[in-house]
Amino acid sequence: MTPVVRTDERGVATLALDSPGNRNALSAALVAALADALAACGEDPAVRAVVLTHTGNTFSAGADLRQPPDPGAFVALLRQVVELPRPVVARVTGHVRAGGLGLVGACDIAVAGPEATFAFSEVRIGVAPAVISMPLLPRLDPRAAARHYLTGERFGAAEAARGGLLTEAAQDVDEALAPILDGLRRASPEALAETKRLLTAKVLETFDRDTAALTALSARLFASAGAREGMTAFLERRDPAWVL
């Protein structure tokens, strides 16, 4: 069973993360399946736009600590979303943690409902939001980024929209997305691709400049004693040793 399910309607391909056993955590299998699905959408002339969404009440719980993806593969996936010659729209109606926020940040448009919650939980397991910073920091308000990166606290859709993570916080996500998708369907495919290139140029400059350094930082932190304690504590459902 694939962890990513595709459906199509009037030029919009919807890719739903569907790995309920681990709350759509970013396992090696899910990252590979999503990369394949995005590539197929990018090569399909019938696809005008891609909606990235989820089944269940969690968009993504972040990296799968039991079956983590290769860091290079995850970075490549984030860049693939940014570079895809189709607009990618995040539809979020559940919880988003850690690496899942990188996926949302890589999308061109992101709408979330009142059930959605967000947290940069990396600092609470002894690592840092390193590689996801490449699509996120060019788009986030610096003060909002500082607060949420450093505290790891949970915040809602309205705060996410104020900080630049979301395009819109909506009471009804599908109602909010309807005019957006209608606009994308009315646009020239070639014009959409070129306009997306204009919008993502600064983000791609960040990938070109920082991929090697941030991938190395992520690998170093995940191999550290602090991360071992943090991840063990998370899996054992206890506080790590550094909590006061």
Distances (CA, A) of 73 to 28, 30, 57, 194: 8, 11, 25, 26
SS3 239: coil
For the chain, the residue count is 244
d(CA 19, CA 91): 16
d(CA 119, CA 102): 11
| Residues forming the active site | 122
How many C-beta neighbours within 10 Å does residue 209 have? 11
The first and second tokens of residue 24, run together, are: 């759509």
Element (H, E) at 113: none
Which residues partner with 96 through β-bridges? 60, 118
Q: CA angle 37-65-18, nearest 5°?
A: 35
Report residue 174 CA to chain centroid gap. 19
User: Residues 183, 186, 190, 193: what is their CA dihedral angle, to the nearest 10 degrees?
Assistant: 10
